[in-house]
Structure 1
């Protein structure tokens, strides 16, 4: 049953992403720098860099929340897992709800927005919420930056709106070839909303196989055609990732600790890569706790304090009807070398002033 549901999920997402449509392009037409193409019939907005798709804002209903997918280095090496949207050989086939880069949470008024996917059985679906794209508010693109502003709704399984979201994605490329993605999420409560302490949230990336940390637990992988193997096994070939945090934690020790930033260093097709998530001092719960798992989930979660502190801290964050809050994060994708803590600290200081 699990294999059948996963195959149906893959087909559903692929069909949504490949549908033909008319498109509107904003930005450069000479394949230099950033440009943006709206593709509404395929439920996505493509962000192009030098004439090639860098990523897409994807909002098909089958995803259960909008995502950025894929993310790559400027040389085109994938830093996000492809499965289940665009499967690649030797990827893990766990957690089908973990795709690209996304923002959601595991407990909002008792509903799980994090683990929702089309693999959920019908008798389970009343436990899960979904984030639904409403409209593209504005787009802009120039040589070295692009901006996409969108509106979303956080809905209960009976389509009751709990939160409205305005999200701005800003893409920049530096002279050194670093990609920086700044995310500003404004949440407005449409009724009283409780974010109970939960380990699963808030801003997250599911990374490519090469950026995972070596992991000794048996699991299933995709074959050369992106189809799940039938035999679980341990396979760390090409797995090179190591986590670091602003507080000097390394490897598995980063999980469940606070930090102003966390960084994942690894090698993808002989290219050294550093992937950094920066927290912002204005965010609730700063500095964030980090859900940094060796199997490939890299997330900043400032709201799950009771879980990560083992009961020493309790947040139970709430918004009354009409109240709002803002979360700011920045993702840095650097390639060609591994960044050190001093450089990550400088990125953090620069972002804190934005």
Structure 2
């Protein structure tokens, strides 16, 4: 009996000694953890990879992969994985999730051609992990082929610690003109706040086969009819690794040209673009109608929320979540 008592006391003592360490380990795994290396910042939510902010090695900064509920990979692997399987290898500038534009003082920052400009990382203003949220705030330079800095930006990527049934983050960008010259964000469909969804989510598959994905806008417009339309939010959902999941992009009411136009395609491109009015209205509006001019030394700010969810837009209550965000 004495031996049993001693053994039990010993085991309880060992457990008591281990519990603080276990608690600390569990606490460290909770929340949003940011880890910086030479060319990227790894973002983990509750101990699991969510995305990486890649700030070197490409013509523009981007976020890849984008991992949704239950470990589902929500964006295309190409071109980050050059030999990716079962994907169209088109539009190499569609790098998972990114912000760029095709006409900034006439310079193309959208494509990755020999004459295109580059959006280059300058410095980090804040990199902060946290139990409830993590923040990456960076400064970037938009550089033309001749080396001239056309404009600069400060962007904030705010990631929230949420249940595994969803992922939620905010993207805010402030584009600033140089002190001595204005910046014209030009009227073109080629832009702007964009992602390229997973291949299986497409509405139309390669070889024009019908896919199982769908696009839904706040106005009720569906699928292929959504391109060039205005809406407060847009949701792109479909099968991912055998489950239905989606990405919703919310346009903030304070943004210029709210509700935004949508450069969203049935082959997987998904973008909010407030500038391309001439293209989106089938040239009913004159060229340049969508231009936004930033005066010297001034700036313009755009805010978006991304809601990555299980199920379709009704099951995920996308409309309700948008209303909560905007406090309507």
Please indicate, yes or no, whether the TM-score normalized by the shorter chain is above 0.5: yes
Q: What do residues 191-217 of structure 1 show as CA deviations (whole Å, max 9, x unaligned)?
A: 2111221001110001111111124x6
1:46 Cα deviation after fit? 0.8
Q: What is the count of residue pairs matched by the alignment?
A: 298
CA–CA distance in structure 2, aligned partners of residues 92 and 235 of structure 1: 13
Structure 1 residue 29: Cα displacement: 7.0
Distance 1:141 1:59 in 2: 18
SS state at 2:89 partner: coil
CA distance in 2, matches of 1:291, 1:99: 15
Please give the alpha-carbon distance, in whole angstroms, between the structure 2 residues aligned to 1:33 and 1:91. 33
Matched, 1:185 2:173: yes
Verify: 1:129 aligned to 2:104, yes or no: no
SS in 1 for 2:255: coil
Check conservation: 1:28, 1:34, Cα contact below 8 A: no
Hey, what's the Cα distance between the residues in 1 that align with 2:26 and 2:104? 41
* Preserved CA contact (<8 Å) 1:28 1:142: no
1:52 matched to 2:40? The reply is no
1:290 counterpart (262, 281, 285): 262
The one of 293, 316, 319 aligned to 2:294: 319
> Partner of 1:30: helix, strand, or coil?
helix
- Quote the residue 2:34 is aligned against: 36
Match of 2:317 among 339, 343, 349: 343
The alignment's TM-score, normalised by the length of structure 1, stands at 0.79
Q: Structure 1 pair 235/257, CA: closer, same or farther in 2 (3 Å)?
A: closer
Kindly state the Cα deviation for residue 67 of structure 1 after the two structures are TM-superposed.
0.4
1:259/1:28 CA distance change after superposition, 3 Å: farther
Task: Tell whether the 8 Å contact from 2:31 to 2:132 is kept in structure 1 after alignment.
Answer: yes
Matches within 5 A, 1:256-271: 256-271=228-243
Check conservation: 1:168, 1:185, Cα contact below 8 A.
Answer: yes
Unaligned runs of 5+ in 2: 1-24
Matches within 5 A, 1:198-209: 198-209=188-199
**What TM-score do the two structures reach when normalised by structure 2?**
0.85
Q: Give 3-state SS (helix, strand or coil) of 1:326's partner.
A: strand
The answer to whether the aligner puts 1:113 opposite 2:103 as a matched pair is no
Match of 1:66 in 2: 61
Match of 1:99 in 2: 95
Please, which of 144, 153, 166 is the counterpart of residue 165 of structure 1? Answer: 153
Distance 2:143 2:296 in 1: 15
Question: Using a 3 Å threshold, how does the CA distance of structure 1 residues 344 and 169 change in structure 2: closer, same or farther?
Answer: same
Q: 1:175 to 1:51 in 2, by over 3 A?
A: closer
What is the RMSD of the two structures over their aligned residues, measured on CA atoms? 2.1
Query: What CA distance in whole angstroms lies between the structure 1 residues aligned with 2:128 and 2:186?
Result: 36
Give the match's secondary structure for 2:105. Answer: coil
Counterpart-to-counterpart distance in 1, 2:105 and 2:75: 30
Check whether the contact 1:155–1:162 (CA below 8 A) recurs between aligned residues.
yes
Using a 3 Å threshold, how does the CA distance of structure 1 residues 299 and 198 change in structure 2: closer, same or farther? Answer: same
- What CA distance in whole angstroms lies between the structure 2 residues aligned with 1:167 and 1:316? 21
SS at the partner of 2:84? coil
What's the secondary structure of 1:307's corresponding residue? helix
Deviations 1:267-322 (A, max 9, x none): 11222102101001111111111111111100000111111012344222111211
Q: Secondary structure at the match of 1:75?
A: helix
Aligned to 2:21: none
In the alignment, which residue of structure 2 is the partner of 1:82? 77
1:304 paired with 2:276, answer yes
1:342 Cα deviation (Å)? 8.9
Give the secondary structure class of the aligned counterpart of 1:99.
Answer: coil
CA shift for structure 1 position 242 = 0.4
